[in-house]
Chain A
Amino acid sequence: MKLITAVVKPHKLEDVRAALETFGVTGMTVTEASGYGRQKGHTEVYRGAEYEVDLVPKVRLEVVVEDGDSAEVVDVIVKAAQTGKIGDGKVWVVPVETIIRVRTGEVDGDAL
Chain B
Amino acid sequence: MRTSATPRSMEGMTLMEINAGDTAWVLASAALVFLMTPGLAFFYGGMVRVKSVLNMMMMSAITIAVVTVLWVVVGYSLTFGGDTGRVIGDFSVAGLKGLIAPEAVSGTIPTLAFVAFQLMFAIITPALISGAIADRATFRGWIVFVALWTSLVYFPVAHSVWFLDGDNPGGFIGTGIKAIDFAGGTAVHVNAGAAALALAIVLGRRVGWRKDPMRPHSLPLVVLGAGLLWFGWFGFNAGSALSAGTTAAVTFVNTQVATAAAVIGWLIIERIRNGKATTLGMASGAIAGLVAITPSCGAVTPVGALILGVVAGGICAFAVSLKYKLGFDDSLDVVGIHLVGGLVGSLAIGFLGTAAAPSAVDGLFYGGGVDQLGRQALANVIVGVYSFTVAFILAKVIDLTIGFRIKEEDEVAGIDQVEHAETAYDFLAAGSGLRGHSTVVRTEDPIDGDTSDGTAEKEGAKV
Contacts and interface: CB of A to CB of B under 8 A. Distances in A.
Interface of A: 10-11, 13-14, 30-32, 44-51, 53, 59
Interface stretch (B129-137, B431-439, B448-456): B431-439
* List of 10 A-B pairs having minimum Cβ-Cβ separation, nearest first: A45-B274, A14-B439, A47-B320, A48-B321, A51-B213, A13-B437, A46-B215, A46-B280, A51-B215, A30-B434
A47 B280 contact: yes
Given A46-B216, A47-B280, A11 B274 contact: no
B284 interface: yes
Contacts of B278: 45-46
Nearest to B332: A47
Contacts of B312: none
Given A48-B274, A48-B317, 5 more contacts: A14-B437, A44-B215, A47-B317, A47-B336, A51-B215
Among A14, A30, A47, chain B packs the most CB atoms within 10 A around the CB of: A47
Contacts of A49: 321, 324
A30 B433 CA distance: 11
B432 to A, nearest CB: 6
Contacts of B321: 47-49
A47 B433 CA distance: 28
B116 to A, nearest CB: 35
Interface in B370-428: none
Main SS class of interface, A: strand
B437 A50 contact: no
Interface of B: 213, 215-216, 270, 273-276, 278, 280-281, 284, 317-318, 320-321, 324, 333, 336, 432-434, 437-439
Contact of B276 (A30, A45, A59): A45
A44 to B, nearest CB: 6
Given A48-B274, A48-B317, A51-B215, A32 B280 contact: no
B392 to A, nearest CB: 25
Contacts of A11: 437
A48 B320 contact: yes
Contacts of B276: 45
A13 B435 CA distance: 11
Given A46-B278, A46-B280, A10 B213 contact: no
A51 B336 CA distance: 20
A30 B216 CA distance: 28
Given A48-B270, A48-B321, A59 B215 contact: no
A32 B433 contact: yes
B274 A50 contact: yes
Contact of A32 (B317, B432, B438): B432
A7 B202 CA distance: 47
B434 A59 contact: yes
A51 B215 CA distance: 8
Contacts of A48: 270, 273-274, 317-318, 320-321
B281 A47 contact: yes
Nearest to A30: B434
A104 B128 CA distance: 62
A13 to B, nearest CB: 5
Nearest to B281: A47
A58 to B, nearest CB: 11
A32 B434 contact: yes
Nearest to A50: B274
A49 to B, nearest CB: 7
24 contacts: A10-B434, A11-B437, A13-B434, A13-B437, A14-B437, A14-B439, A31-B432, A31-B434, A32-B432, A45-B274, A45-B276, A47-B281, A47-B284, A47-B317, A47-B320, A47-B336, A48-B270, A48-B274, A48-B320, A49-B321, A49-B324, A51-B215, A59-B434, A59-B437
Among B270, B320, B437, chain A packs the most CB atoms within 10 A around the CB of: B437
A68 to B, nearest CB: 30
A30 B434 CA distance: 8
A59 B275 CA distance: 30
Nearest to B284: A47
Contact of B333 (A10, A47, A51): A47
Among A10, A30, A48, A49, chain B packs the most CB atoms within 10 A around the CB of: A48
A46 B324 CA distance: 13
A55 B309 CA distance: 38
Contacts of A31: 432, 434
A46 B48 CA distance: 12
A94 B421 CA distance: 44
A46 to B, nearest CB: 5
A13 B439 CA distance: 10
